[in-house]
Amino acid sequence: MTKRSPAGAFTDRRVYLDSAASTAVRPEALEVMLPFFSEDFANPSANHSGGIRAAEALDQARQIVAEVLGGLSEEIVFTSGGTESINAALKGAALAQVDAGAGNHVVTTEVEHHAVLHSAHYLERFGLDVELLPVDKFGRVTPEDVAAAVRDDTVLVSVGYANNEVGTVQPIAEIANAVKKRAIEYGRQIPFHTDAVQAASSLPLDVDLLDVDLLSLSGHKFGGPKGTGVLYIRRGVPFLEQTSGGGQERQRRSGTENVPGLVGMATALQLAQAEAEIFRIRTSMLRDRLLGLLKTSCPDAILNGHATERLSHNMHLCFPDVEGEALVAALDTRGIECSAGAACTSATWEPSHVLLAMGIPLELAIGSLRITLSPHHSDADIDYVASELPSAVRRLREADSPV
């Protein structure tokens, strides 16, 4: 099908390079979802046969997610997506600790997703003291730096597993362990949360191996439907519900559950984790192929994030003397779909807070491009991008150069 770009050009080719923003629903997920739209559509809280069937499907989905995460089914809370999961984790855990008189100090980093940062700023309105830790030039924070920030009044620590923009992976298990040691020194509980929204397709999610107390996921990042999410809450972690009502999700998140979506999400998560190694191998090969080609055709492109400790499918580049939004539009006219940063902030685009926190100069930060690959891309797709991207960059520079 011919696709019309916002710039008005036409192309028959489409190469989707924005998997960090959203993925297609897997056929296997869609298949298990369909009956719950038309046959077993009843409310899972109802006590009749239809409601019982829906509740059983929901219980099965919860058990699948629990097995993937290595947790218990009662530790799984279903939500509407990553943003809700993150909001509930930070606000629910922190405010429960405040209520218990445990303190009012929250630790996170400068490069977190806006759902984390805005939730942290929200907590400040209620008197909490939020400390944002700096990162190095790769976007990483050390376990020692996080542990040093923990105080006797710390009620929550939140560090993202993998950055949604530059793809840098944090040493989460080591950071969480360092926080636990500090908590033992103080003789109290300090819950540790990680935003794992970008991690599900390629990184292990076992909550015991990661040593985390709370973990957030979003279904549409790994082949599930939009509007579905997971919040893992380790048993015994204080939590104050953020959505009150009928008491669903063991009183932790009220509201009628999205049964078809959650059934599909659970299936997609199970498959994503089962295929994670294949995903890593294939996408890292594609990424390295594209990087290799661009080194020749676009040698001044700068790769952001850690060179090795990064998501296998992520490429985040800066192009001097080019605006990222203009480059995204130019590539779109050629059938190449990617982003200049996080898709959820593109409506109010501004220089990436992640890049600025990493020390990247403003003039470079405004020329950033995020490419996130899929195992389904072909070598021909990569070659096409490698041929069109330098051309788009060159034309933009020529257009901006003085006559």
Residue 22 lies in a domain: no
**Number of independent structural domains in the chain:** 2
- Among 216, 239, 274, where does a domain finish? 274
Cβ neighbours around 281 below 10 Å, total: 13
List the catalytic residue out of 298, 318, 338, 344.
344
Judgement on whether residues 78 and 214 belong to the same structural domain of the protein = yes
Phi and psi at 402, nearest 5°, equal: -65, 145
Residue 285 lies in a domain: yes
Residue 47 lies in a domain: yes
298 is catalytic: no
Q: For position 55, what pLDDT does the model report?
A: 96
CATH number where 349 lies: 3.90.1150.10
Cβ neighbours around 270 below 10 Å, total: 17
Q: pLDDT by residue (tens digit) across 167-198? A: 999 999 999 999 999 999 999 999 999 999 99
Identity of residue 161? Y
Judgement on whether residues 52 and 165 belong to the same structural domain of the protein = yes
Residue 400 in this model has a pLDDT that exceeds 80? no
Judgement on whether residues 350 and 238 belong to the same structural domain of the protein = no
Judgement on whether residues 350 and 381 belong to the same structural domain of the protein = yes
- H, E, C per residue of the chain: CCEECCCCCEECCCEECECCCCCCCCHHHHHHHCHHHHCCCCCCCCCCHHHHHHHHHHHHHHHHHHHHHCCCHHHEEEECCHHHHHHHHHHHHHHHHHHCCCCCEEEEECCCCHHHHHHHHHHHCCCCEEEEECCCCCCCCCHHHHHHHCCCCEEEEECCCECCCCCEECCHHHHHHHHHHHHHHHCCCCCEEEECCCCCCCCCCCHHHHCCCEEEEEHHHCCCCCCCEEEEECCCCCCCCCCCCCCCCCCCCCCCCCHHHHHHHHHHHHHHHHCHHHHHHHHHHHHHHHHHHHHHHCCCCEECCCCCCECCCEEEEECCCCCHHHHHHHHHCCCEECECCCHHHHHHCCCCHHHHHCCCCHHHHCCEEEEECCCCCCHHHHHHHHHHHHHHHHHHHHHHCCC
Residue 241 lies in a domain: yes
Contact 245, 287 (CB under 8 A): no
Beta strand 105-109 with 129-133: parallel, antiparallel or unpaired? parallel
CATH number where 231 lies: 3.40.640.10
Judgement on whether residues 328 and 387 belong to the same structural domain of the protein = yes
Residue 2 in this model has a pLDDT that exceeds 50? no
Residue 219 in this model has a pLDDT that exceeds 90? yes
d(CA 81, CA 26): 17
> In this structure, is the dihedral angle defined by the CA atoms of residues 356, 314, 317 and 305, taken in order, positive or negative?
positive
Residue 371 lies in a domain: yes
Beta strand 10-11 with 302-303: parallel, antiparallel or unpaired? unpaired
Contact 10, 2 (CB under 8 A): yes
Judgement on whether residues 146 and 194 belong to the same structural domain of the protein = yes
In which residue are the tokens 């973990």 written? 215
Judgement on whether residues 370 and 232 belong to the same structural domain of the protein = no
Rg (CA), the chain: 22
Residue 84 lies in a domain: yes
What is the reported pTM?
0.94
Judgement on whether residues 142 and 255 belong to the same structural domain of the protein = yes
- Among 220, 255, 274, where does a domain finish? 274
Judgement on whether residues 388 and 308 belong to the same structural domain of the protein = yes
Mean pLDDT, all residues of the chain: 94
Judgement on whether residues 280 and 255 belong to the same structural domain of the protein = no
Residue 367 lies in a domain: yes
Q: For position 10, what pLDDT does the model report?
A: 54
Residue 204 in this model has a pLDDT that exceeds 60? yes
Judgement on whether residues 254 and 321 belong to the same structural domain of the protein = no
Judgement on whether residues 31 and 153 belong to the same structural domain of the protein = yes
Q: pLDDT by residue (tens digit) across 118-171? A: 999 999 999 999 999 999 999 999 999 999 999 999 999 999 999 999 999 999
Residue 3 in this model has a pLDDT that exceeds 60? no
Residue 346 lies in a domain: yes
| Domain carrying residue 391 | 3-17+276-400
Q: For position 350, what pLDDT does the model report?
A: 74
- Among 237, 256, 274, where does a domain finish? 274
Q: pLDDT by residue (tens digit) across 370-395? A: 999 999 999 999 999 999 999 999 99
